[in-house]
Amino acid sequence: MTVCRCLILGLFVTAVAGAAELCPYSNELEGFRFCENAAWRSLHPLVSTAAHVRRVLGQPIREDDIAHWGEPYPGDAKAEAPVLTYDSPKWEILIYFVRSNSGMRDEFPADLRDRLLSIDLIPKLRMSFKNVGFPAVYRKRHVIAADAAWDEYSDGSGLVYSVYTSKPDQGDERPGDLYRISYGLSDRARADHGRGPEEHR
């Protein structure tokens, strides 16, 4: 009887803990509310490590060190810029860490560079966002890269929708198509933990 009660109590505590795992991205667009039911909702930027990611999501379908494309993956600890890729029916899920991004690597102290930076969802098929209206809480920023240009719509929570404004060099996407959805660092977390330019010296 005692064992049974302990088991029931353990299940109850687990259920309560899961229910308490609230999604911090409250402004997800209608039709794109993934966070609340996603397996990765328990992973947190600047907190979770690669070990946490693997424990929650399992073995990735691809492991890359994007600082050394084409070379064998040396492992999470040795990779200079690790990116882990997971699969879902409609999306590729890319896991970035602070040291995956050269700009962020310089912005944050060494003890945070192995922590999660963002979880990015990349649609497998073209997904038009031409008729999507973003609420006033979103800010727009235009980005021009070597292979494409896009607008980023962010709400300050770390949630970012990127929409192409030009045709990328590779792929079938067109201007107005969704590039990616990023679940990353909030403005507050970046301000609290990032370092100012004077600290980089």
Q: Residue 18: its pLDDT value, please? A: 43
Q: Residue 2: its pLDDT value, please? A: 40
Phi, psi of 190 (to 5 degrees): -65, -40
Taking the alpha carbons of 29, 35, 37, 39 in that order, is the dihedral positive or negative?
A: positive
Residue 9 parent element (H or E): helix 2-20
pTM for this predicted structure: 0.85
Q: Residue 21: its pLDDT value, please? A: 62
Q: Residue 11: its pLDDT value, please? A: 33
d(CA 3, CA 22): 31
DSSP character string of 125-151? S--B-TTPPPPTT-EEEEEE-SS-EEE
Q: Residue 105: its pLDDT value, please? A: 87
| Burial tier of 196 (Cβ tally within 10 Å: 0-12, 13-18, 19+) | exposed
* Residues of the chain scoring pLDDT < 50: 1-20, 197-201
Q: Residue 139: its pLDDT value, please? A: 97
Q: What is the DSSP letter of 97?
A: E
Domain chopping of the chain, boundaries: 26-200
Q: Residue 16: its pLDDT value, please? A: 33
Q: Residue 145: its pLDDT value, please? A: 94
